[in-house]
Amino acid sequence: MEIEVKSKDENEIVFIVRDAEVPFINAIRRIAMMEVPKIAIEDVNIVQNDSAMFNEVLAHRLGLTPLISNLDGIEGMEMANECDCEEYCPKCSVSFTLSKTGPGIIYSKDLVSTDSTIKPVYDTIPLLKLKEDQNIELEVVAKIGLGKDHAKWIPTTVCAYKQYPKITFNEDAEVNYELADVCPRNILKSDKRSKKLKVQNIEDCSMCKACVRADENDYINIGFEEKNFIFRIETDGSLPPEEVLSKACDVLSDKADKFITFSKN
């Protein structure tokens, strides 16, 4: 198996996996979404809320506010269901407080954390609006969880793959130069000098087959390479995408080890 990174930034990574099987690639996708630990607000204690926003709506907005959950931030913390405390403690949680008086818009940056390494990823997420002399006072507790338990613990906003596109031409058929204009992603380029269509940026091909439907001469064929894949992971900023991928691989490896051990008994 070979892996080639095509692009990477702080929130997204795109890479190609060659010589792999669909079940393996899909297992990585599912684990990256559902079984990579992330910290998110779980408990909300609202002391005062004079705004027009219902407490339940505000709690929901707080729960979906992404918090920095990289390995440096949550290292040493325990999963909430594995901690021996009765409700929550510093070993399994981080507390935030919010106390503001209107008028004004309250943003995620107004949440004050007890741990400087764990804070909202983005400072400008609007939480609610206060009018003159309205107050908001609350305390929230963030805990580590998994996406399979609740969507707020899913670290990825996009986690998907597609099989590597493959475009071939029937040399015995008449060249249809108009297909280059049909392609919505400009994958095909008309080259009348060489009397053929050229393929460019094939990795951008969505395999929509718009060109096939417009082809009356059976000149073009759209398919895919069965064991090659283009994989894309985009996160909400709580974890770097490479950490999500690395942790997903670790989880899959642990699962495989447990299965092997079980099969030997």
- The pLDDT tens digits for 1-19 are 899 999 999 999 999 999 9
Can you tell me the distance from the alpha carbon of 240 to that of 125, in angstroms, rounded to the nearest whole number? 19
Fold of 38-151: RNA Polymerase Alpha Subunit; Chain A, domain 2 (2.170.120)
Contact assessment for residue 173 and residue 166, using Cβ atoms and an 8 Å cutoff: no
Strand ranges of the sheet holding 156-169, from the earlier edge strand across to the other edge: 2-8, 12-18, 220-235, 156-169
Percent of all residues in the chain with a pLDDT value above 70, rounded to a whole number:
100
Give residue 263's pLDDT: 85
Q: Of 47-61, 164-178, 191-205, which one has max mean pLDDT?
A: 47-61
One-letter identity of residue 192: K
Q: Domain limits of the chain?
A: 2-34+157-233, 38-151
- Residue labelled with tokens 């950490």: 243
Q: Tell whether 208 is in a known binding site.
A: yes
- Residue labelled with tokens 């507790």: 141
Q: Tell whether 92 is in a known binding site.
A: no
| Helix (H/G/I), strand (E/B), else coil: 122 | coil
Look up the CATH number of domain 2-34+157-233. Answer: 3.30.1360.10
Model confidence at 21: pLDDT above 80: yes
Compute CA distances 61 → 45, 53, 56, 148, 199, whole Å.
14, 11, 9, 19, 46
Q: Tell whether 211 is in a known binding site.
A: yes
- Residue 205 exposure: Cα atoms within 13 Å on the Cβ side: 26
pTM reported for the whole predicted model = 0.88
| 68-72, 148-152, 230-234: least confidently modelled range | 68-72
- Residue labelled with tokens 């741990």: 115
Give the pLDDT band of residue 176 (cuts 50, 70, 90): confident
